[in-house]
Amino acid sequence: MQQRYRLSPDERGFQPAPASPLCPLSEPGRAANSSPDGGSAASPQSHFPHKAFWVSFSASLLLVIIALALTGHLGLSQPPAESLQLVRITAPDQTGLLINQSAVVDLQNDLVTFSITSPANQTSTVLFDIKHGLICYKPMDQESCFLRKMEESDYNNVHSLLQESTHKGQIQLSRNETQRQREFLGVLAGSPVDVSTLEEPLQTLCQHSSVHWTRRVDGPGNQRLVYFCIDICFPSNICVSVCFYYLPE
């Protein structure tokens, strides 16, 4: 009977397989960095780049909002250039001398500002504040402003200028076709107006001047002297000579 022999691993030349690199042996220090559920715990430094990004982004967004707010504020405080129209009006006075005047029309704020130059090269300013229904006269070489409320004829005259300002920049009035009118305004010298109570741009125009209300009257009479007159011409072929004198207090 034959006996079978089994070769031992050493006799067969068998060698144990090396450990796989995909399954590294655990190390004592590695277990300390593992989370209880088997995943690796993130270090505090890994959150720092995200926090820095959001802080930088928030600061940039805040600067953009502030810049837009300032831009909007500046845009509202100043009227756009296209809303301002300059109209030059030339008309002869009663003696035949030319009256040169220019009018700046602010369509956005309903303002018309006349600059009237006399033959002696002196300039008076007349401001029509259509929104508040006021007219402000600032005569040449005087530290005074005179106010009065607008009437229907004033609105009609100014509206003729508003219509022409969008079409013409230069208006020449004919002496033969121009209608001439005269108005007398009595100055209420006994009741000065506080400049700080005026709306802009009246406050800026009269900030270094005394301000007085006026009222329309039929005429100064023989006992009163007319101190000065301002001639204003409109595109509707109407020239108004506004004359001032002081009423008794």
Q: Taking the chain, what is the end-to-end CA distance rounded to the nearest angstrom? A: 159
Q: Which residues touch 117 (CB under 8 Å, ≥6 apart)? A: 99, 100, 101, 123
What tokens were used for 62? 């805040």
**pLDDT value, residue 24:** 45
pLDDT digits (tens, 9 = 90+) for 74-89: 444 455 556 788 999 9
pLDDT digits (tens, 9 = 90+) for 200-233: 999 999 999 999 999 998 877 766 777 889 999 9
| β-pairing verdict for 228-234 and 210-217 | unpaired
* Predicted TM-score (pTM) of this structure: 0.66
Q: How far is CA 6 from CA 1, 3, 10, in A?
A: 16, 10, 11
- In whole angstroms, give the CA distance from residue 147 to residue 127: 10
**pLDDT value, residue 101:** 92
The torsion defined by the Cα of 194, 197, 203 and 208, in degrees rounded to 10, comes to: 20
Q: Which residues touch 211 (CB under 8 Å, ≥6 apart)? A: 144, 145, 146, 147, 192, 193, 194, 195, 198
**pLDDT value, residue 130:** 95
Domain residue ranges of the chain, discontinuous segments joined by +:
84-245
**pLDDT value, residue 155:** 95
Place of tokens 């039929």: 218
**Which residues in the chain show pLDDT less than 70?**
1-82, 166-168, 222-223, 249
Helix (H, G, I), strand (E, B) or coil at 244: strand
